[in-house]
């Protein structure tokens, strides 16, 4: 799935695989939609859409074709991904985006369990993969706790991690402000290695990409 007709005409210079993972209702689907279309604006009364098993989506930016694996967050699905089909999910991975619901502190232990297992699999299939954690739904916590709660979550998720710890980057996100777009832009930039000024100017001149998108 691509968001712009011009992407279909763009020469593919590289391919990247991004895996979106998190417990059910952590906001993974809305984050995925923002990856596919940064101009999409969710509404607070949008119906909840549960991901069954996993979904794949595609988007091409600056000659890089991104394939997104959006993993269902229910326990049965997560166990299957990690124990039954890890090569399908994590083989060829370039980036993991793990989404944590900031208001569901009681589920943090279970989130850490699956995050740790995902790191183990990524360490097998691609130890060079980029690792991001979105502490999501920041708009739902009071201002007085906006430092304390994310700090607690970060400390907890990093406990007893012996592999890839120095690769983990955190972003505090909400799809109702620009924080998610900023995080997504950083991830795209980290994955696209062709930010050559002459190439960008040529693409803008030919109008093959929207010059306001992640440039």
d(CA 196, CA 98): 30
What tens digit of pLDDT does each residue of 193-205 get? 655 454 455 555 5
- pLDDT surpasses 50 at 52: yes
- Kindly list the structural domains of the chain, giving each domain's residue range(s) and its CATH number in brackets, ordered by start: 5-196 (3.40.50.300)
Local confidence band at 13 (pLDDT 50, 70, 90 cut-offs):
confident
What tens digit of pLDDT does each residue of 137-161 get? 999 999 999 999 999 999 999 999 9
CA atoms within 13 A on the CB side of 87: 0
Contacts of 126 (CB under 8 A, 6+ apart): 90, 92, 93, 94
Note the pLDDT of residue 47.
67
- pLDDT surpasses 90 at 103: yes
73 within 8 A of 115, measured Cβ to Cβ = no
The top-scoring range by mean pLDDT among 4-8, 37-41, 117-121 is 117-121
CB atoms within 10 A of CB 205: 9
14 within 8 A of 194, measured Cβ to Cβ = yes
- What burial class does residue 133 get, using C-beta atoms within 10 Å of its C-beta: 0-12 exposed, 13-18 middle, 19+ buried? buried
Helix (H, G, I), strand (E, B) or coil at 113: helix
Mean pLDDT of 92-108: 97
Choice among 4-13, 56-65, 109-118, 142-151 with the minimum mean pLDDT: 4-13
- pLDDT surpasses 90 at 209: no
CB atoms within 10 A of CB 175: 20
Q: In the beta sheet, which residues pair with residue 131? A: 96, 168
């Amino acid at each position: 799935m691509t968001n712009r007709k011009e992407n279909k005409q763009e020469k593919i210079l590289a391919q990247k695989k991004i895996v979106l993972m998190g417990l059910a209702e952590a906001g993974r689907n809305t984050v995925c939609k923002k990856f596919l279309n940064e101009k999409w604006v969710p509404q607070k009364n949008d119906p909840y859409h549960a991901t069954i098993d996993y979904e794949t989506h595609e988007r091409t930016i600056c000659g890089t074709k991104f394939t997104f694996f959006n993993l269902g967050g229910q326990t049965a699905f997560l166990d299957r991904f990690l124990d039954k089909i890890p090569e399908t999910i994590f083989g060829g991975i370039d980036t993991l985006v793990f989404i944590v619901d900031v208001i569901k502190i009681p589920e943090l232990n279970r989130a850490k369990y699956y995050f740790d297992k995902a790191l183990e699999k990524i360490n097998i299939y691609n130890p060079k993969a980029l690792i991001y954690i979105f502490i999501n739904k920041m708009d739902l916590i009071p201002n007085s706790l906006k430092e304390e709660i994310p700090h607690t979550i970060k400390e907890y998720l990093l406990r007893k991690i012996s592999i890839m710890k120095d690769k983990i980057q955190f972003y505090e996100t909400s799809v109702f402000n620009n924080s998610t777009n900023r995080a997504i832009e950083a991830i795209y930039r980290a994955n696209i290695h062709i930010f050559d000024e002459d190439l960008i100017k040529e693409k803008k001149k030919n109008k093959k990409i929207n010059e306001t998108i992640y440039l």
